Amino acid sequence: MSLPSNSPSASEPSSLMLKPPALDNTYGALLLGSCFGMMLYGLAVHQTYRYLRLYPKDRLWIKLLIAGILLLDTLHTAMCIVAVYYHLVTHYFDPPSLAAGHWSTRILPLVMGLTYVMCQCFYVYRVYQRRYLYVGSHYGYRLLVLIAVACIICESAFLVATTAEVFRLSLDQFPRFSWLVSATFGCAAVAELFLTGTLIVALLRSRTGFKRTDSTIEILIIYSVNTGLLASIFDLACFIFALILPGNLIYVGLGSVGVKLYANSVLAVLNSRRSLSERMLQDLELGSFEPKYMQADRAEGSPDAPLEASKLQHRAGLRPDLTATDISFASMPFRSQMDSTSGDDTVR
């Protein structure tokens, strides 16, 4: 019995096998992004539980916002698990399936985009509600907010177009339209930078010149930067990778982490109200705060003379009545009327 020959006909089946696509920069990137994203998802669940315990009296709209963000975050995590298992386990050596994609992979951009838009709408509300902190023309402040809103609208439009193309095309055809993904992340990054920058400028211009007060403002500024900077970095990274490397899924893996950062940032802003409020109360107990609008009154008489109670009440009535909610939106570092009896830290 002769040995099988190595003729072309004998090796024809293997030669006709399709070459599988590279997995390290496609579904491998999605796998890594999903792993890091699930860690952040656990943090989001913990923050949601903490929020429900600390702020049960928050208004309904903020509770619905948190519920919507957590629901989308859960759906995104589930879709990542399904996509990774389908492509890397069930069809680990099925080239046509790897190239065609799965419905779980196709729905990821929609879920991510909706989470982005919901979180950014919260940031728009936070910034716009603090417009009275801006020293200068309020028209300029509103213009900056409107630019951010325009970026969010453009982001939503690109998101709809991206979702339509993802369901219509296969993985090997989509690189021709990856500029839609790049534009979506680019608009998200610009909107986040405008919102964070506007809030920081307003905080800088609200400084009073007192060490304790200004130190609180500095903490709020650092906090505002930290909650927006990291998400903006991931947005810019997704924008760059989708633009220069459209044939892989690295930007999808980075986006899976970025969308979790957005959800955690919103929850961190809301959960920080009590700690920031306690710090502000401690500063008020340790030292006397005399805002600048009172300094002129004191300059009229003796430097050591106490201000009249009636004048204090009149002046306090001219200032915004800030609650702990204002602290959660990174607003004024002090308030004229401290509602210490009610402990009101709900969102208005």
User: Would you write out the chain's pLDDT as a tens digit for each of its 348 residues?
Assistant: 444 444 444 444 444 455 666 777 888 889 999 999 999 999 999 999 999 999 998 999 999 999 999 999 999 999 999 999 998 888 877 777 777 778 888 899 899 999 999 999 998 888 877 665 555 556 777 888 888 899 999 999 999 998 888 888 777 777 778 888 899 999 999 998 888 888 887 777 766 666 666 676 777 777 777 667 888 889 999 999 988 888 788 898 999 999 999 999 999 888 887 776 666 655 555 544 444 444 444 444 444 444 444 443 444 444 344 444 444 444 333 333 333 333 444 444
CB of 333 closer than 8 Å to CB of 213:
yes
| Per-residue confidence (pLDDT) for residue 278, from 0 to 100 | 64
Domain membership flag for residue 39 = yes
Task: State the CB neighbour count (10 A cutoff) for residue 102.
Answer: 18
CB of 163 closer than 8 Å to CB of 109:
yes
From residue 83, alpha-carbon distances to 76, 160, 207, 272, 282 in Å are 10, 21, 50, 35, 50
| Per-residue confidence (pLDDT) for residue 287, from 0 to 100 | 47
| Per-residue confidence (pLDDT) for residue 210, from 0 to 100 | 64
Structure tokens at 140: 């300029």
Structure tokens at 241: 């990778």
Q: What's 138's domain CATH number? A: 1.20.1070
**Domain region containing 184:** 28-278
From residue 240, alpha-carbon distances to 22, 68, 172, 247 in Å are 20, 29, 20, 13
CB of 324 closer than 8 Å to CB of 274:
yes
| Per-residue confidence (pLDDT) for residue 150, from 0 to 100 | 93
| Per-residue confidence (pLDDT) for residue 259, from 0 to 100 | 93
Domain membership flag for residue 265 = yes
b/e code 105-136 from CB counts within 10 Å (16+ = b)? bbbbbbbbbbbbbbbbebbbbbbbebeebbee
Domain membership flag for residue 83 = yes
Domain membership flag for residue 259 = yes
Domain membership flag for residue 325 = no
User: For the purposes of burial, counting CB atoms within 10 Å of the CB of 15, is it exposed (0-12), middle (13-18) or buried (19 or more)?
Assistant: exposed
Residue with tokens 């992979």, as numbered in its chain: 105
Task: State the CB neighbour count (10 A cutoff) for residue 14.
Answer: 7
Residue with tokens 């009275």, as numbered in its chain: 132
Does pTM top 0.85 for this prediction? no
Domain membership flag for residue 179 = yes
b/e code 272-292 from CB counts within 10 Å (16+ = b)? bbeebbeebeebbeeeebebe
Domain membership flag for residue 232 = yes
* Rounded Cα gap, residues 109 and 252, in angstroms: 8
What domain count does the chain have?
1
Domain membership flag for residue 285 = no
CB of 265 closer than 8 Å to CB of 227:
yes
